[in-house]
Each structure stands twice: as structure tokens, then as C-alpha cells.
Structure 1
Amino acid sequence: MSFSSEKDTNFCFPIPDVLENDKVQLVPFIRLVEGFDANTWNYLSYGPFEILGESACRANHATTTFTILDKVGPLAVNGEPVIAGMVSYINSSDADACTEIGFVVVLPQFHRTHVTSNHAGGLGLRRLQWVCNTKNYPSLKVAERMGFRFEGVLRWSRVVPPKKAIGYKAAPERKGDPRAGNGGRDSAFSSCCWDDWEGGVREWVDKVMARNK
């Protein structure tokens, strides 16, 4: 697994030079594969990958991806941060001042720790959304814990390959389906908007991020 200090200059929003707090640091993503077991990808419409490179992550103007570094956990030895996962801003729009936290993958040894609640940084936008598989209950709980407001379910929102069996719908048995043989997923949408943030969510998130575990 690798990371770099080079910024993603193709992203539609300016990225601060430093994205970190006292617990985690986000650095530009290059390659992140090792350390993930098969269950990591269960509820995601993508993966697993043999190699997921920066060229794929940086090709989209609406997307930028970071490696999550843990600075204080037991695996961070002698002050050296260790890779804990990856996270992206996706479906971003500078015209509409919004983005989505997506491609969130945290290594198994960092589940239920401060890493999950500390990796998300803000860009001062109007809307930040969180979209996940309706069967991905841990992800739904994270969104709720971080102050996101549940908005609803978008049915059959993703087409997924046949190898995806956990948390997905079976392929439709219908004539003329352009993606015949592929399953699908329902997506749960949650959001935190500027008025939520300024109306108390910011203080709530500060408390959640202050947890020591």
C-alpha cells in the first residue's frame, strides 16, 4: 500500500494542504489493496481489485481519493502513522456546492475505532451526502452517529456483477434487460446540509471525534 504528498489537481474543489487532526491524516491515494479480506467488499458495488491505482481515482473531475493514516492507534509505532483504509469525495459538483463521502473502506483491524469517525473532512459546501447499500447496517449506523439525516431509499440504484451475493438483489428475470445476468442494489441516502451543520451537528461531531478508542 502506498501514499503520496502530491495533490489531486483534477478535482473540482481546492483541497487544503493539510487534512488531519490529532488522530488521523488523509493523504493523496496511489495504491491500496493489501490488507483487505474478501468481506471488506461485500456491500460495495465495486471490488475486490487486484490493484486499484491512482489513475482510475483521479480520472474523474468529480472524484478525489485519499489514503487514511492512523496516527495514534496501537499499530502506529514510534510515531509513524499506519494505513487504515481509504475514502473519497465522489459525485461532487462545484455548481451545486455539494459532494458525497464514498468509496469508504476501512481495514478490519480499524473497525469500531476512532478511524471511522475522524476521516471525514469538510469543504464548506451546502450539502454532504452519504449513500450506502440498505443492507450495510454498520455504514448506516456510522452516518447516523456522525449527524447525517436519513432521507430515503433509491431502489435498484446500482447494477452489480453476479459475483456480488451479499446484500444485493438477484438479477431480474425479464426479457430485454440491458444488463441481463447482473444483480442490483437499493441505496439508502442520508445527508448533512449547511443548516444542519451550523445548527448543532458540528458540535456533535466534535464530541464524537474526541473519543479515544
Structure 2
Amino acid sequence: MSQVEGLHDANFCYPLPASLESERVALTPFIPAEHAQLFIDEARPFPELFKYLPFGPFSDAADFTTNHFDPVVRDNKGNVLFAIYDKTRAAPRAQRDAGMATPQGKFAGIIGCIKSSPENLVTEIGCIVILPAFQRTHVASNAVGILLHYALDTAPDGLGLRRVVWQANELNVPSVCLAQRMGFVLEGILRWDRVLPAGRPGNGIDLRDGDPRTKCPGRNTAMLGLTWDDWEHEWREKVNEIMARMSTP
């Protein structure tokens, strides 16, 4: 697997192909000039998509690029973001004509590999936003499955990593359930793991007097992991079966 040429928006620590695909879903590295406005247009009507995320919602493409993509993704070698395309649905003609969508299909959201460490042969699947029209379809399972193959398969098809991490707000039951369905094992709950922005769902525990950030709730984080031996002995085959299941949008 060789590093894609000319991908100026990517600064990832692992080799990054131009696309990663299953039969029904394609992931392409997120390039703000091509994808930021598309993402904002599709996500803006649904601010609830960011309920359990540490970022967003965003006012416009410039807000997303300046305050999230540039500092979190472009400037961090451990992080990369992908645009998700549902290959079973054609992109709207207006998007195709404007060059805002690739021929793979209809834009369905974003997903990333984050906190990656070549030294420890690990990455984390995160920054997942699946647009409402594609929830409870094949899109999420295929997007996650594609990244599991990318991370845990050995060369030349994959990176040969030893571990993939999944972290979620303990209250985000759909995220935890998706991870477990794809083979991740719940390894523990990290109590008071993060300070969240004001207004986000916290752990429900009142803060003590004198807390430095009284308006910002605390998050308990569910920590899950999928390792290379889990993958080789059982979960590669199971994930392939899940990705192949048909669903009705």
C-alpha cells in the first residue's frame, strides 16, 4: 500500500490510499475544498448529530475547516478524516455538476482514524457522523468494517496494526452497541474522563463547589478495543458477514 500522491490535505502517519471501499460503501480522504461545504449543507439541519461529539455543530464550511479540520486533522499526524459515500445511491446531479461529490455515490457522512501511533501499532475509529437518511442502513457497518480491514489486515492490503480503539460517551448507547456488534470488547468505563462543552450530556453527577469549570459537565467514557488476534481468529469473518447483509434505507 503506497501513500497517495498529491493529497495535500492529508498529513497521516500511515500510508493512505486514494479510496477504501467495500461493495456498497467508499471512503475517500476528506479534502475541505471538496467536502467541507457538502458536509455542512447536509449536517446543518441536524444539530443533534453532534450531541455526543466534542466538536460542532458548525456555522459554515470556514468554521469547520478553521476550528476543526485544520487544528485537529491536518496538523496532527495521528488523525485522518474520510468522507463516506453510499455507492448504492447516486449523488444528486447538482452535486455532481458542481464537483461536490465523487462518482462513488451519495455523500453519507464522515468517519476518521484518530490518535494513531505507529510506534504502538494502534489507531482509533472516531469522529463518526452518519447523516440521518443513512442511519440504520448498511452505511455505518460498512464504513467501520472498511477501516477495520485497513487497520488490522496485514500488508499489502492493510496496515497490520495490533489494536483498534473505540471510545464513546457512556450514555451514547447506539455508538457502544455498534462497536460491540463489530467485534469491539468493552474494556472498562473511564470515570470523569473528559470535561465537555456546556450543554453537552454529561455523567449526571453534580459538580462540587469550587470546580474550575462549573458550567461544563464531566464525561464517563466507554473504552472498547478490537485486537489483531480477535480479528484473525473470529471477527474478520463475522465483520464480512455483517457488511454483506442487505438493509433497506
Q: Distance in 1 between matches of 2:206 and 2:12?
A: 35
Partner of 2:117 in structure 1? Answer: 93
Rate the CA distance shift 1:211–1:7 in 2: closer, same or farther, 3 A: farther
Query: Helix, strand or coil for the counterpart of 1:128?
Result: strand
Q: Which amino acid aligns with 1:137?
A: V
Partner of 2:27 in structure 1? Answer: 26
- Residue 48 (1) aligns with residue 48 (2): no
- Residue 39 (1) aligns with residue 48 (2): yes
Q: Distance in 1 between matches of 2:168 and 2:178?
A: 11
Structure 1, residues 85-104: CA drift from partner, whole Å, max 9, x if none? 00111111110000100111
1:42-191 alignment runs, 5 A limit: 42-50=51-59, 51-53=63-65, 54-56=69-71, 57-73=73-89, 76=91, 81-120=105-144, 121=147, 122-123=150-151, 124-164=160-200, 166-169=201-204, 172-175=207-210, 177-191=211-225
Q: Distance in 2 between matches of 1:171 and 1:16?
A: 46
Query: Helix, strand or coil for the counterpart of 1:205?
Result: helix
Aligned-residue RMSD, C-alpha: 2.0
Q: Which runs of 4+ in 1 moved over 4 A?
A: 75-80
* Percent identical residues: 40
Structure 2: tracts of 5 or more residues without a match: 1-5, 94-102, 152-159
Task: Report how far residue 55 of structure 1 moved.
Answer: 2.2
Task: Report how far residue 181 of structure 1 moved.
Answer: 2.3
Is residue 202–residue 220 contact of structure 2 (8 Å, CA) maintained in 1?
A: no
Q: Distance in 2 between matches of 1:150 and 1:118?
A: 21
Structure 1, residues 152-196: CA drift from partner, whole Å, max 9, x if none? 1001111111122x3554662332x34342111111011100010
Larger CA deviation: 47-56 vs 111-120: 47-56
Is residue 170–residue 182 contact of structure 1 (8 Å, CA) maintained in 2?
A: no
Structure 1: tracts of 5 or more residues without a match: none
Structure 1, residues 70-123: CA drift from partner, whole Å, max 9, x if none? 1114x6569751110001111111100001001111001110011000113122
